[in-house]
Amino acid sequence: MDHGDVAWILTSSALVFIMTPGLAFFYGGLVKRKNIINTIMSSVVLMGLASILWVLIGFSLSFSGDIGGVVGNLDWFGLGFDGFTDATFAPNTLLFAAFQMMFAIITPALITGAIAERMKFSSLVFFTALWSLIVYYPLAHMVWGGGYLAAIGSVDFAGGNVVHISSGVTALVLAILLGKRKNYGKATYHPHNIPFVLLGAALLWFGWFGFNAGSAGAANELAVHAFMTTNTSAAAALLSWLLIDTLKTGKPTLVGASTGLVVGLVAITPAAGFVPIWSAIIIGALVSPICYFFISVVKPKLGYDDALDVFGCHGIGGIWGGIATGLFAQNSINEVAQWDGLVFGSATLFLRQIAAIGITIAVAVVGTLIAFGIVTLFTKGIRVSKKDEELGLDISEHGEAAYPAFNGMD
């Protein structure tokens, strides 16, 4: 393999890795100060757990062999292959495994924002391990490992289905099953550290260049293209969300800007290496009002407590991104897309994108229900007590205080 390509994919892997600490700060800044350590720990623990699971069974179940187009096998248990000569994922399977591992870390971490401030840490760890086994590895196989969704001709450049729709839908189901936070709908919730929110969002934007451009698999023209569509969509969504903020409240907000750039990154993820750069402006500009509507109108009407709007941002943003791929993709940009998008005269890819989205949602819902049921059976309650929730999960779950000198109300 060309040394430049190896260097780029290793760099991209590191960029994707830093997204998980970035997510921890993004989520941590949004919760109450008495829950920031627990919220950050919910992401940090997966940097260890998901890494070990990936080495032992995750990569093998995702990319080794094929069982019914749904999942791989355990032929590569413990990465048991020659990573420098096995050309299954040419020309360096171990490099591919390292890059994909970072996706397996951040995807379950995304879910944790929905159940912030009320789920036992031990139950969360158990749940995310089972969820990775039941939902993430099969979806990675179906989309990128030669499974069913690839076979029907749907495309997902860097994880619209595998990462964002799966985690977003899971977040919604888990939030409903877990129930609302104390005083939800009665008290007003405010982010406790807005600079942390921007710090996290900035790290996510920075890492996303590896997330999307690294998915080209080489330091080539497609990587450059994905880099530019990624930045363009994020920029358009940031401005779009600020416009909505200004129209609705009269003031642009930093939380709004941070949220907007993130949903712009979510929306372009499945499309980054398939659509023309001009279309990234449309994709980003439209994702903000779509997500804003679900967060501000649909969520209050249905009454579920998705604490940090994981479904509204990642689930809905990912669904829009998958649809937009079916609208704007061009075979001339990337031959992996067998057909042009609907805007260019063909409905074939568009219909396959819709089918893939539907299948992803079904897998996420069923897998979440199974994982939740198993965790409930083997743990003494999946939710913290009312007393511990009132005290704050930093103290009750970890025995640590982020701001030990602070004695005010929270």
* Per-residue pLDDT, 190: 87
* Per-residue pLDDT, 174: 97
Interval 223-247: pLDDT, tens: 999 999 999 999 999 999 999 999 9
* Per-residue pLDDT, 125: 97
Closest alpha carbon to 13 in 161, 209, 165: 209
Q: How many domains does the chain have?
A: 1
Cα dihedral 285→288→293→296 (10° resolution): -150
* Per-residue pLDDT, 409: 53
* Per-residue pLDDT, 88: 58
Interval 259-275: pLDDT, tens: 999 999 999 999 999 99
Residue 56 maps to a domain: yes
Using CA atoms, how far apart are residues 19 and 242, in angstroms rounded to an integer?
Answer: 23
Residue 124 banded pLDDT, cuts 50, 70, 90: very high
Calculate mean pLDDT across residues 289-297.
97
* Per-residue pLDDT, 406: 64
Interval 362-371: pLDDT, tens: 999 999 999 9
Residue 164 maps to a domain: yes
Please list, in sequence order, all residues whose beta carbon lies within 8 angstroms of the beta carbon of residue 389, skipping any fewer than 6 positions away. 117, 118, 181, 182, 396
* 82-96, 107-121, 226-240, 396-410: the lowest-pLDDT one: 82-96
More confident residue, 378 or 19: 19
* Per-residue pLDDT, 407: 61
Over pLDDT 70: what percentage of the chain?
A: 96
Output the pTM of the full model: 0.95
Residue 139 maps to a domain: yes
Which CATH number fits the domain that encloses residue 52? Answer: 1.10.3430.10
Over pLDDT 90: what percentage of the chain?
A: 90
Q: Which two tokens stand for residue 388?
A: 């511990």
Residue 85 banded pLDDT, cuts 50, 70, 90: low
* 109-123, 184-198, 286-300, 318-332: the lowest-pLDDT one: 184-198
Residue 410 maps to a domain: no
Judged against a pLDDT cut of 60, whether residue 91 lies above it is answered with: no
Residue 245 maps to a domain: yes
Using CA atoms, how far apart are residues 103 and 177, in angstroms rounded to an integer?
Answer: 26
Residue 403 maps to a domain: no
Residue 408 banded pLDDT, cuts 50, 70, 90: low
Tokens 């080539």 sit on residue? 220
Interval 148-175: pLDDT, tens: 999 999 999 999 999 999 999 999 999 9
Residue 53 maps to a domain: yes
Residue 376 maps to a domain: yes
* Per-residue pLDDT, 49: 98
118, with CB counted inside 10 A (0-12, 13-18, 19+), is buried
> What domain range is 46 assigned to?
3-398
Buried b or exposed e, range 55-89, using 16+ CB within 10 angstroms: bebbbbbbbbbbeebebbeeebeebebebeeeeeb
* Per-residue pLDDT, 86: 57
More confident residue, 92 or 279: 279
Using CA atoms, how far apart are residues 48 and 239, in angstroms rounded to an integer?
Answer: 36
